[in-house]
Amino acid sequence: MSSVTQSGPIHLGLDVHKDSISVAVLPSGQESAEVDKIFHDEPSVRRLIARFPDPGRLRACYEAGPTGYELQRLLARLHVRCDVVAPSLIPRAPGDRVKTDRRDARRLARLHRAGELVAIRIPTETEEAVRDLCRARADVVDDRRRARQRLGKFLLRHGRVYRDGTAWTVGHERWLAAQTFTEAALAATYARYRAAVTARDAELAAIEADLALWYDRVPFAAQVARLAAYRGVDRLGALTLASEVCDWRRFPRATAFMGFTGLVPSEYSSGESTRRGHVTKAGNAHLRTQLIESAWAYRSPASIGAGLRARHEGVPAQTLARSWTAQQRLCGRFHRMAARKNVKTVVATAIARELAGFLWAEMTA
């Protein structure tokens, strides 16, 4: 690829992979993009940008994905404007059945020049670091659930069933400690399963202690205080929401934020026909999970318990008023919907969608 000297902006479509980047160069006024492939490392990217006399004219873009934001940050240091675009919102022709790196790079360059791509917000390094720690906690919770299931299924296979209350309580732990096996191999298996659960519990406690340090730190302290004023959103949940969203004002309306969570119903309507289906689940899965978990707190009548009262200390009166309004509406709505629907998860999902709207209104007030 030769250096480009024409005037006007130059659009770079980058199809990024672990070891390679396909680069489509589309100068102003040119219909066809020239494509080259480079190795995915900093020296190769620097050599690419050095081919252009004025990096300020470059307009680069690539899809959000597993390679993260390091390429965008490198290009920013090289004074190149770079957008990371939402893959699910890239226009695609229904009849296009051929996919190659070169074609993808050309399409990105062309659509970026036409203004048809939706750029996502790039988190700061601190925001991304805390977000990754929150996601690491979610992974540990998942690992603990699997470890508990393995232990429970092992005991069930050998006729050991706990019937004196809820599992994983103090009473259940005492019951587990009292279980013994005469066969040496079974005793060893049971010890390994119990050790796995204990290790996951300790790991979860450690990572939650690390997260607690960020409750009162910039840039999350103000968001955590306001979000935690809402029922069902403790400080850990508030930090999760804050780290996943970061900038609430990038959503112009509550419905846009609800769509980002993937909690809105899918719809296919044409002419006189209107069809709505399950929720899209097309947005941020971590955010959606936290909102649904928080929504279950609205099963009971509206009230302010000791934990919520403690989180209300030092919070502005306007936030407390909005929180109470939200609680009254969502608790009443949960009760009315639960009376009509047998599947309570559907009710919790609907409440989570409305809760997302209340939280967006709070953070943009």
How high is the pLDDT of residue 5? 55
- Please enumerate in sequence order all residues whose Cβ is within 8 A of that of 236, keeping only pairs 6 or more positions apart, or say none: 208, 211, 212
Q: Are 85 and 108 in contact (CB under 8 A)?
A: yes
How crowded is residue 314: how many other Cβ atoms within 10 Å of its Cβ? 7
Half-sphere exposure of 290 (CA within 13 A, CB side): 27
Half-sphere exposure of 161 (CA within 13 A, CB side): 4
SS3 content of the chain, % helix, strand, coil (to 5): 55, 15, 30
Q: Are 24 and 106 in contact (CB under 8 A)?
A: yes
The rounded distance, in Å, linking the Cα atoms of 225 and 319 is 10
Residue-by-residue pLDDT tens, the chain, 365 positions: 555 556 789 999 999 999 999 999 999 889 999 999 999 999 999 999 999 999 999 999 999 999 999 999 999 999 999 999 999 889 988 888 889 999 999 999 999 999 999 999 999 999 999 999 999 999 999 999 999 999 999 999 999 999 999 999 999 999 999 999 999 999 999 999 999 999 999 999 999 999 999 999 999 999 999 999 999 999 999 999 999 999 999 999 999 999 999 999 888 777 777 778 889 998 899 999 999 999 999 999 999 999 999 999 999 999 999 999 999 999 999 999 999 999 999 999 999 999 999 999 999 99
How high is the pLDDT of residue 206? 98
Q: Nearest Cα to 127, choosing from 194, 45, 69? A: 69
Handedness of CA 281, 282, 284, 287 (dihedral sign): negative
- Please enumerate in sequence order all residues whose Cβ is within 8 A of that of 14, keeping only pairs 6 or more positions apart, or say none: 21, 22, 23, 24, 60, 61, 62, 71, 105, 108
H or E segment at 12? strand 10-16
- Please enumerate in sequence order all residues whose Cβ is within 8 A of that of 356, keeping only pairs 6 or more positions apart, or say none: 254, 257, 258, 261, 263, 291
10-114: which CATH topology?
A: Nucleotidyltransferase; domain 5 (3.30.420)
